Amino acid sequence: MNRFPVAISLGAFGADVVRERGQASFIPLLVEAGVTRMELREELFTGREDLVALGEAIRSQGLECLYSAPLELWLDGQNAPNPELEPTLQRATACGAPWLKVSLGHLTEDSDIAALADRLARYDVHLLVENDQTPQGGRLDPLVQFFARIDALQMPIGMTFDIGNWLWQAQSASAAAQQLGRYVEYVHCKAVSRNTAGKLIAVPPRQTDLHLWEQLLKHMPLGLPRAVEYPLQGNDLLDVTRTQVDALAQLGQRHTHTSSEAMSHV
């Protein structure tokens, strides 16, 4: 059985720990755990990192690199793309990251999609737009509108589908998968629960969550990279990480096997 590619969003190890240890320090653990892609988190950088050296260290260990930035493509009241997009693309390029993940921001009918295409054309970085937890970037309708406009212009922009984030805006992940699944190129996996204060938080998946994720993946291209974006904690961090990586690597395999069985009887 083939394994589907699994990424780790480094925030899974805890923001304080990652800032203290540095993102490069997790490379050996990810390699040993069978990870395919390392998702760098810009908000966890301290400003002391050598981005070029970091990217080289990631590639030298055979890992893919994705650069995640807490950046909205459109700011409120502005038709042009966020002016911070260009320096963010430059940082992603410095890391040698083929992908940059951002959120949508305040899309309107007047948002200048052509200007976005112009910004992206200067860089060899593929943009992925994620559904975040905000009203402007975490609801289904604006994202459907955005990708319809992108599709009409045949712009090479993909979607990061964050399974858990839909709950922050009371959106249906199932409806989102059905309407946006064909644009998805990367999946963020997180189960969601409420803590004692009533706040939504990311948690590791139960079997029922894994079953739900299987159903969502049926609406997306087969074998997409999927990322751990929930807490990875424990005395044996390697064992904890490897267990979660193995679980995500198997998602969609049953569907693949079923399809192969059906084809063998045609």
Q: Are 62 and 27 in contact (CB under 8 A)?
A: no
Q: Report phi then psi at 78, rounded to 5.
A: -120, 130
Report residue 253's pLDDT band, with 50, 70 and 90 as the boundaries: confident
How many whole angstroms separate alpha carbon 50 and alpha carbon 205? 34
Rounded to 5 degrees, φ, ψ at 74 are -125, 130
CATH topology of domain 6-264: TIM Barrel (3.20.20)
Query: Would you state the structure tokens that stand for residue 240, as one six-digit string?
Result: 């904890």
Lowest mean pLDDT among 163-177, 195-209, 214-228, 247-261: 247-261
Are 227 and 36 in contact by the 8 Å Cβ rule? The answer is: no
Structure tokens at 13: 């190890």
As given in the structure block, the two tokens for residue 127 are 């943009």
Percent of the chain with pLDDT over 90: 93
Phi-psi region of 231 (alpha: psi -120 to 50; beta: other; left: phi over 0): beta
d(CA 90, CA 120): 11
For residue 256, pLDDT beyond 60: no
Residues 6+ apart with CB under 8 A from 192: 164, 167, 200, 201, 202, 203
DSSP letter (8 states) at residue 10: G
SS3 82: coil
Is residue 96 classed as helix, strand or coil in its secondary structure?
coil
Kindly report the number of other CB atoms within 10 A of residue 51's CB atom. Answer: 18
Looking at 61-70, 132-141, 200-209, 252-261, which range is the least confident one? Answer: 252-261
Polymer length of the chain: 266
What is the structure's pLDDT at 1? 55
Per-residue pLDDT tens over the stretch 45-95: 999 999 999 999 999 999 999 999 999 999 999 999 999 999 999 999 999
Alpha-carbon distance values, 36 to 116, 148, 168, 217 (Å) = 29, 30, 28, 19
